[in-house]
Amino acid sequence: MSVLALAMLCVGFASIIGGATGFGTALIAAPLMLLAGVGVAEVVVVNLVVGLVTRIAVVIQLRAHIEWRRVGWMGGASLPGSWLGVLTVALLPVAYLKPAVGALTVLCGLALAIQPSGGTRPPSRPALSVAGFVSGYFGATTSLNGPPVVLLLSRARLPPMSFIADLAGFFVITNTLSLALLWLYSDTDPTTNWPMLLGCSAVGLAGNALGIGIAKRLSVGSFRWAVVVLVTAAGMLTIVTA
């Protein structure tokens, strides 16, 4: 099976989970694509493009649930983080990024397993700024821009639709910034592999739609634990094979 076909399978599978939970596509797709033989730079670009395309669709569908001030605050803070991440990509050898992706994925899986108690607590502006900055950095270096904002919004215990909608709005902003900065300030050219970008975007949209359908039929708690297990296992496999 070709690398392109394997990449599409990885993205399609990950997009089903991302569609059902509002996040997790890049977390799962990144280590699986690395294991399939896709280069680190290509993984970053593909995940950012697929995330942008699929989240635009979610923003259109759930625009009434988005808290734009919260999303804008996180998105603005992601700009300097993305810029710092682009500098890292330009200076750090690619060989160092693969184990970093695996380690970060494992930590994210473990962190997602911890659920706070209490009622809804809107995140403070400093917390939104820190989460946005770190997410921007992770997005430009590894395409895993979801974990910091996911952890922050999950601890705020937002209503499900607000949680998914805010994440989608943030991903649209930060993925666009990361792609633009990578194009302008690094050797990475997001347009060099059109077949993989188009193929993965197509299966990403299909998987995202299927995931939303599955979410309507399954327990949110059960699916969340499935995501935790898959994310942690994928990160461990990436570290072992680095």
- Do 151 and 24 meet the contact criterion of CB atoms below 8 Å apart? no
Residue 209 structure tokens: 């739609």
Highest mean pLDDT (candidates 31-35, 115-119, 144-148): 31-35
Segment 162-188, tens digit of pLDDT: 888 899 999 999 889 888 888 887 776
Segment 193-226, tens digit of pLDDT: 889 999 999 999 999 989 878 877 767 677 667 7
Which one is predicted more confidently, 235 or 54?
54
In 3D space, the residue among 68, 58, 231, 53 whose CA is nearest the CA of residue 161 turns out to be: 58
pLDDT at 80: 93
Q: In terms of pTM, does the model score above 0.85?
A: no
